[in-house]
Amino acid sequence: MSKKCTPLCREAHFEVKMYKTLGDRTTLGGSDVASPLRFTTLHYVTFHHTPLYYTTLHYTTVHNTTTTTTQLDYTPVHSTTLNFTTLHYTTLRSTTLHYIKLHYTPLHYITLHYAPQHYNYNYTTTLHYTPLHSTTLNYTTLHYITLHYTPLHSTTLHYITLHYLPLHFTTLHYTPLHYNYNCDYTTTLHYTKLHCTTLHYTTLHYIPLHYTTLHYTTIH
């Protein structure tokens, strides 16, 4: 008689997959288990073509991790630190990022749809030395986000709201900032300080600048 796999059994199978290592590295690939990872530390983990659907990551630390074609759909990420993590061809849809720190994390061909990024007095979404390559931000709200030494290459910003966003030593290359003629959405800079910021071939179309301070800003 075949035994029916219970949710506990499925979670156990997932745990076996996660901790089955090859040498010093762990590979997660093709798992169909929508299991939450809570208080989980992932070291030297490789994700290959791994969809994570409705997966909650709480207080999860990811070190030296490469994700290839990993899709995060409707995945809330809470208080998660990604150190030296590379995300290639990763799509984030309707994803909430709370208090995220990205250190030395290159983001290649990343699409963020309807993704709010939040701040509180204890934690913040901080991008340190994070290059953004060919990244599209659609209808994305950035609240109190700090960008330190963050180059933006071929980045498209559609209808982005930037609130209290300091840009320090930030280079914008070929970065169009767009405006919706229906006046529904616009790229607005509120109380935005640009310190030592270089704008190369950047187009500003009908962009309102409210209480925006430009310090040592070069516009080419």
Q: Indicate if the alpha-carbon torsion angle 49, 125, 106, 93 is positive or negative.
A: positive
**Predicted local distance difference test score (pLDDT) of residue 218:** 76
Confidence check: pLDDT of 50 > 60: yes
Is the pTM value of this prediction over 0.85? no
The SS3 assignment for 120 reads coil
Of 16, 28, 113, 100, which Cα lies nearest the Cα of 65?
28
Distance CA 152, CA 167 (A): 11
Mean pLDDT of the chain: 77
Q: How confident is the model at residue 16 (pLDDT cuts 50, 70, 90)?
A: very low
pLDDT tens digits for 140-188? 888 888 888 988 888 888 888 777 777 788 777 777 766 545 544 566 7
Confidence check: pLDDT of 21 > 50: no
What are the structural domains of the chain?
A: 7-219 (2.160.20)
